[in-house]
Structure 1
């Protein structure tokens, strides 16, 4: 069994949703616009596949066509408008993908309350058999595990960092490489734990609806 292959002509939807990245194909009709918004944590990449669009990013405007790409960085207000008489199809990704995924903006760029979009907005089916109470418990436990790993990591960075500085000063390549590896070995589980915290949070946050 092979890996999934996606086609922008038929898979016009979210194709990958993780705390590290959300990616999708998006189709918009002639004249359609998207509300001005930004992302608190994520950079958003847009690659135009068909049609022409006008992007406004952080107050600057550019027109893009097939094969062209642009990027809205963290906290940069951005919006898009389809130009001409033809629909537009693009690939986009947001990295990382952590709720609240969008911060709406006024026309003047002022921040509005966060938008905690429902799972359906990202083509995700929530596991309703898991209660909000269970998710909160998992959130707390995962946060505590992250705190413990971060404390251990900080201690190792301090110890190995001093060894790395000495090794670089002494031009001791083997010791420098060993210290660098030890620092990374401590950093890696922290990033894994951050992803796990994001997983739980992305399940919990959209469930709080009134």
Structure 2
């Protein structure tokens, strides 16, 4: 199966987000005034990735999907709106860090609840879309949808989301992601994307991916 599939980029981005949530969860469970800045930093990164991912879905992925399969994405959009509200609450709490153990306990509870909420959202999307997406778009349509996702906010994707996500993917996932970039990148952008991810490749990966022509 071609890697130029909307489900592929969604699922791989979800896997990177899960890695970020795991890191956030570990920091949250040992939260103290001394570790609060690190929690704030990691939360900021995860929030930034999730917000762009949700915007990509809402604006570049869901509209063509709705045109093919009406009433599929409404629940996902509502979950994204709830996510934004949760981000606002958590961000306000984070701004007060560190400010006593009472505040830390409150933040830990809010963070636990939000992490579980977002994990549930990722699973919900995957369970629904993995059943319908393979039958929804033609190959040409799939390439267009993925390309639209990549270029929705091209600067933010290239400078932040792409390296952040790729760095958190493992071997086979990286191969799929590179294949997706090679087949679906906006015009003339593939070399720029490769330059962004290349620093995260080890020598063995570089050799393998060069042999498979995934870096050129």
Would you say same fold, with TM above 0.5? no
Name which structure has the greater RCO, CA cutoff 8 Å, separation 6+: 2
Please report the TM-score for the alignment, with normalisation by the length of structure 2. 0.30
Q: Which has the larger radius of gyration?
A: 1
Please report the TM-score for the alignment, with normalisation by the length of structure 1. 0.31
Higher relative strand content: 1
Higher relative helix content: 2
